[in-house]
Structure 1
């Protein structure tokens, strides 16, 4: 089997003018916490052929991208055939350039109508999501093999845990007010504004995908995944279906029983409790960016003098190998690295990150772990959600005024590994 080596994007972050999505509404609120709106993003919607050609020229053979639900179904129950035709062209362009498409059905952004219907805490969303995925499979399924239903299905639970930690620090006065207090206030303001924007009469927020998730919402998302998986397989039995999870390399700060227990608890919440829902999946998408060191008091700050990325993650490409090995202890299916990357203005550090991360992947394969692909995040310097365009994860720089593409050395370095995994 050919090792899939490529890169990844998310529709809302690169396509531009995703006007029917919940994120578009949030970006344009009066009191938004987004530093800037997405607008035309990287104009990938119109320039996908150029971008796919750049991947081919670099030597890559795979591309993970998302189909935007808000484009396909801009109104509940009304599907847009023109948008299906658009994504058909994207898929055909991949095949014409020898690129294996890895399709993601939901990458954070949702149709705004879904949020007015209760969003990702509503029982009805399971059926809504299944119907959308089935429609796409019926119309486009013959053009792809790998499909990831939901990107980082555990992100809402991770967000809830982060907010809980911040609140706890506030209550104990053990917090850097100048940094963290505004974040918390801005988050709560955004949720209040989101609720008003979607005109919901109940609930603490509008239940977007990146809201703080309840245990019910967590279960609902996994049920939505299962329903979509089964519906897509029924239409196209050849499909390999999975989802992706955001996973950290969890390391114990010491060997005390309490610390070990804390590490085990974090892994249970981040990964293990999802295993019953994914045991029938064909693959699992692993998404890793860094490690977390855990002590008796929980997650610690990065070590003093540690190199931090633009996102304030610790620069730690070794984390990927550790996470792959840990996941393989419990999940016995095919593994794809669906995201791994670094936000930095220094492309040489990105090159070194890629080299270290891929060395770890090769070690895992040598030990018999079924890793079948690596997708680097991201193809383009894109719209990084609330951070706007200030975070540069891309293998290709984009001039925000002209949309001209400037491939970085990291793109060709990544492509050079195609022969090494052959």
Structure 2
């Protein structure tokens, strides 16, 4: 089957349903936000109210001069109870898709951006033997409805992230709270093993990855059966692992082998692979070197390295040979001057790769809006736009960085 990529570079921005929509009552994440103890700092609630304000979001994308928008289609909205399909949710995504096209924006969809239906999580989620078939049914349902109008389909968002987190960056106290949160959810749901899309127990990680791989393969088949010409792949979280010593090199290579190697086989035959990069990790003899005095850091205290995106792309392309779509890239900061500079420094190396004939099909900045950033709730800021949540208006305001991004796109010839 031949996938048909757009004949131009896709410049866009990314969002995810639970993080912006609001009122996502049937999802596993909403359920976990309401148990005690919860790993989530606070519930998403109305988030950015994008379920109602989606036209405003698309207007912002258009105002920035972008030609694509990546959003997630939420399974929990479409099938809030097992076997019960909410056609009004499908109608919503129909309108959203048409709204994109009316503005000259090509839709890119994510079929599972972490969240899953509560009923699916109560059946052990991705650990369930029948999970791949159930997910494939959902993918077919979505592609049958809007697949004739989308630029590309992403099956799973960052299925390698749990492995990355376990490899040194997930504190022991967070692991403990995650375990307690899942135990509380199992008890509240009255099931033996409630398992979510993005909260996990480390000892179950290998089985979780197997479930993701099986689900991805069946989802690809479902997408191609419904819409043979739609490019389909998944997105990986990719940290730019670097090193300054020989032992550091071994540590960096070991992490890459653990986190990315399993996916090289899993994505064979896909039309593209999504790369999502936010940072570099520099290894020395004792592990990752922390940010040094004077370095610019993000809200997590991690030093910014604008060339990390180009390095991550180069690595993943060398491993898979697949065309690349940068499905996420950005910086968490309240200092928009930092974001402006980060955009100016990180996109030119990407452009050079394109000009050197590396098959990069598009770039989606994370994120359109300051939104609900999972366990950190609203304390982390990735948006090109602010949202007035405190006064309940949910009005959007473009930051200066949105103008910087617009100018970069307008002035770049590929």
Give the aligned partner of residue 87 of structure 1. Answer: 93
- Is 1:128 the counterpart of 2:134? The answer is yes
State the distance in 2 between where 1:140 and 1:362 align. 31
Give the aligned partner of residue 171 of structure 1. Answer: none
Q: 1:56 to 1:287 in 2, by over 3 A?
A: same
Q: 1:217 to 1:30 in 2, by over 3 A?
A: closer
Q: 1:208 to 1:55 in 2, by over 3 A?
A: closer
Give the aligned partner of residue 271 of structure 1. Answer: 260
State the distance in 1 between where 2:115 and 2:224 align. 24
**TM-score w.r.t. structure 2 length?**
0.93
Give the aligned partner of residue 395 of structure 1. Answer: 384
Give the aligned partner of residue 233 of structure 1. Answer: 224
SS at match of 1:417: helix
Q: 1:221 to 1:346 in 2, by over 3 A?
A: same
Give the aligned partner of residue 418 of structure 1. Answer: 409
State the distance in 1 between where 2:407 and 2:271 align. 28
CA apart distance, 1:303: 3.6
Instruction: String of CA shifts for 1:243-285, please: whole Å, max 9, x gaps.
Output: 000000000131x2x4322222211122222111112111111
For 1:73-112, list aligned pairs within 5 A: 73-112=79-118
SS at match of 2:265: helix
- Is 1:15 the counterpart of 2:10? The answer is no
Give the aligned partner of residue 282 of structure 1. Answer: 271
Counterpart contact for 1:159–1:210, Cα < 8 Å: no
Counterpart contact for 1:129–1:224, Cα < 8 Å: yes
Q: 1:287 to 1:235 in 2, by over 3 A?
A: same
Q: What is the count of residue pairs matched by the alignment?
A: 403
For 1:349-360, list aligned pairs within 5 A: 349-360=338-349
- Is 1:314 the counterpart of 2:303? The answer is yes
Counterpart contact for 2:272–2:322, Cα < 8 Å: yes
Gaps of 5+ in 1: 168-180
**TM-score w.r.t. structure 1 length?**
0.91
State the distance in 1 between where 2:15 and 2:285 align. 37
SS at match of 1:56: helix
- Is 1:144 the counterpart of 2:150? The answer is yes
Give the aligned partner of residue 233 of structure 2. Answer: 242
State the distance in 2 between where 1:214 and 1:36 align. 26
State the distance in 2 between where 1:186 and 1:226 align. 32
Question: Of residues 319, 343, 346 in structure 1, which corresponds to 2:332?
Answer: 343
Between 23-32 and 278-287, the greater mean CA deviation after superposition: 23-32
Between 185-194 and 136-145, the greater mean CA deviation after superposition: 185-194
Question: Of residues 315, 326, 337 in structure 2, which corresponds to 1:326?
Answer: 315
Instruction: String of CA shifts for 1:78-136, please: whole Å, max 9, x gaps.
Output: 21111111000000000000011110000011100011111122222111111110111
CA apart distance, 1:195: 2.5
SS at match of 2:182: helix
State the distance in 2 between where 1:232 and 1:149 align. 9
Q: 1:103 to 1:207 in 2, by over 3 A?
A: closer
For 1:163-242, list aligned pairs within 5 A: 166-167=171-172, 181=173, 183-202=174-193, 206-212=195-201, 213-242=204-233
Give the root-mean-square deviation of aligned CA atoms: 1.7
Q: 1:185 to 1:274 in 2, by over 3 A?
A: closer
Gaps of 5+ in 2: 1-6
Q: 1:122 to 1:312 in 2, by over 3 A?
A: farther
Question: Of residues 33, 45, 49 in structure 2, which corresponds to 1:39?
Answer: 45
Instruction: String of CA shifts for 1:335-390, please: whole Å, max 9, x gaps.
Output: 11100011111111101111111111012112211111110000001011111111
SS at match of 2:324: strand
Q: 1:302 to 1:252 in 2, by over 3 A?
A: same
